[in-house]
Amino acid sequence: MSEHIILIHGDLLTKERLDTVHNSRCIEHTPKNRFQYVIFLPGLFHYKMACADAIWRTYIQPKEGRDDENSLYQHTAVLRPEETGKMVSKPGFRRVHDVIHHDIWASMMDCWRIEAENKNQEWNTLETFVASEPTWDDVVAMSRTIVRKYTRARPSTIRDKRFRKSNMLRNRDKLMYIDVCQAMNTGDIGRVEASFLPWIYMFKATGKHKYASQMTRFLANLQFNWPEKLSDIIRMNLLCNPSGHAASCFRNNLYTKVKAGGLNGTIEHIIKESPLIEVYQIKENYAHIKKDGRKALWSIPNQINEGMVLMQEQKIVSEEETAIFNVDGDDLID
């Protein structure tokens, strides 16, 4: 048995129990008796839940950030008008996950509308832009412009504090979350691994100290401490594809929870939900148009920068509970 390893996926509680076993056996003489062949891997479903929780802690939970007409809370009140109480108390993973997706879809559509009109005054709607049959080079160029202007422009160049503090940071963080979800669904483990560091900073800044510590330790082991062959094996086993087909979504620890079913993942449901994007009325609130002198109602922190500073200073903001959201069957449907 000592010639093999056992990979165990799980949440932080599983990791803490394994640490207890390792610590209790650390004086044994052989690697086998010290249980060194048992290697913990963070369950990526739990990782995704932690990412959603970090966004919730940043943009929905703080009372100070709920009054801005372009805030994520105000958008949530339009999308789920009867669930605003749940969204600020115990929303559950699926609600937060869906709100993030719907809000970024609406935001990006608004950005595309603005950039299309900037490129050609006749493209004053997305319908006219699509009808013009833009080239792929145009799409790529405009995509890069959108990323530069609406997610990471330099603060010193923007005098509209509401635009900079609210919309740009929120777009950046939501796109980071979307990237994690897509990378996991398509089995792109390289993108998943690349996402760890910025989210570690986010975890640290939002008080998720345990997640920040465990993901930091895992990333250091994966990239520097474990033998290269072992790291490759771990990368290839962080995600699984239950069907075995290339076109199917990848999963992580799906069957350790529940084999979920239901109608929320159907095309019909998605089409039914899509019109809700329109009622956000982002266009009327000038969410992505700079207006000099507009004050921010609340200064949203740049959690990546905040987390980076805290990691360097080795400061603990607060201790969070091991659990994040309660897991329901619908949570496991993409």
Checking if the pLDDT of 146 tops 60, the result is: yes
Q: Do 290 and 315 fall within a single domain? A: yes
How many domains does the chain fold into? 2
Structure tokens at 230: 């072992």
Range of the domain at 274: 43-332
Q: Do 32 and 88 fall within a single domain? A: no
Q: Do 71 and 194 fall within a single domain? A: yes
What is the arithmetic mean of pLDDT over 114-136?
A: 92
Using pLDDT thresholds of 50, 70 and 90, give the confidence band for residue 152. confident
Range 84-93, long-range pairs (CB < 8 A, 24+ positions): 87/60, 88/60, 88/61, 90/326, 91/56, 91/60, 91/325, 92/325, 92/326, 92/328, 92/331, 93/49, 93/52, 93/53, 93/324, 93/325, 93/326, 93/327, 93/331
The tens digit of pLDDT for each residue in 163-222 reads 665 688 899 999 999 999 999 988 999 999 999 999 999 999 999 999 999 999 999 999
The single residue listed with the structure tokens 């940043």 is 58
pLDDT of residue 159: 56
Q: Do 2 and 87 fall within a single domain? A: no
Q: Answer yes or no: pTM beyond 0.85.
A: no
Q: Do 47 and 137 fall within a single domain? A: yes
- Show Cβ contacts of residue 64 under 8 Å, excluding neighbours closer than 6 positions: 297, 298
Q: Do 9 and 52 fall within a single domain? A: no
Q: Do 35 and 73 fall within a single domain? A: no
How high is the mean pLDDT of the chain? 81
Q: Do 177 and 221 fall within a single domain? A: yes
